[in-house]
Amino acid sequence: MASPTVKLNSGHEMPLVGFGLWKVNNDTCADQVYHAIKEGYRLFDGACDYGNETEAGQGVARAIADGLVKREELFIVSKLWNSFHDAERVEPIARKQLQDWGLEYFDLYIVHFPIALKYVDPAVRYPPGWESENGQLEFSNTPIHETWKAMETLVDAGLARSIGISNFSAQLVMDLLRYARVRPATLQIEHHPYLTQSRLVEYAQKEGLVVTAYSSFGPLSFLELEVKNALNTPPLFEHELIKEIAAKHGRTPAQVLLRWATQRGIAVIPKSNDPKRLQQNLEVTGWDLESSELEKISELDRGLRFNDPLGYGLYVPIF
């Protein structure tokens, strides 16, 4: 089963359901990507910071070599890390990431965070993480408009077919749209019933940006990272409302959470190591929740953000 697609403002089609590569182990990444392609996944959401782009590319290459898929049938996403916001660093790092993937272009290349950090030479440390070469959190003075102008040149050069943003507030999106020659095609944000960000979602969609949700299962992705508010939050999979709706529709709690997003036009990028759940996560578009159920799930909103630099002990108060 393949995911339906949504048309981006760049004119390209993006699958509504993809496979997220965050926290996919290097030793299993190639196999997971290969098997996900075999199951019908066509969108893969990667990033410099995930540290597994070479292995993900190996999985893609094997799937293409085995005739499972053609390159043009895939939608590969990667992200510009904070250390490479200086205008002269954008194209070189994008080219390195393409080389790691074994690709000639990204379907979508995203500014990972609206945070410019001091440059770290990939020869010194890669992926660089949050610290400078001095081992400190050090900011660069590069403003977003300079980074975005460099992002636009990636489209001009054919290195990225679409460009987008992630973890931007509504105010930053408003500012970016004032000067963008190439408009961002997507906005990727943390989005789940405990953090609906309804005003931001509504604004982005009105401006023609496709919203992509990460961490659709709420605290689950952050338990192993020992993020404090995730450890103290009831799992969405075990929430009585989610379980009740899942039982009513003959679906899993995970499918209900993903359908809550996709039914409202929000793309999702879950991952799973379990072959059965891998397939189930794709089956979140061919059936509907009732409007009252969508509303009840949205009412679970508690403003709980789990992916916050402050939660990792980094004083970067962007949210």
Q: How far is the C-alpha of 77 from the C-alpha of 146, rounded, in Å?
A: 22
* Pairing state between β 108-111 and 267-268: unpaired
Q: Is 186 left (phi over 0), alpha (psi -120 to 50) or beta?
A: beta
Where do the H-state alpha helices sit in the chain? Answer: 26-39, 53-65, 87-101, 144-156, 170-179, 198-206, 228-231, 240-249, 253-262, 275-282, 291-298
**Do the Cβ atoms of 56 and 33 come closer than 8 Å?**
yes
Phi, psi of 42 (to 5 degrees): -125, -20
CA distances for 113 relative to 187, 208, 303, 316, angstroms:
11, 20, 19, 11
Q: How far is the C-alpha of 185 from the C-alpha of 167, rounded, in Å?
A: 14
Q: Residue 302 belongs to what H/E stretch?
A: none
Cis, bond preceding 122 (omega within 30 deg of 0)? no
Catalytic position from the list 34, 41, 50, 194: 50
SS3 state at 3: coil
Q: How far is the C-alpha of 15 from the C-alpha of 2, rounded, in Å?
A: 8
Q: Which of 214, 219, 151 is nearest to 187 (CA)?
A: 214
* Pairing state between β 108-111 and 163-166: parallel
Residue 105 is among the residues annotated as catalytic for this protein: no
112 is in an annotated binding site: yes
Residues annotated as part of the active site: 50
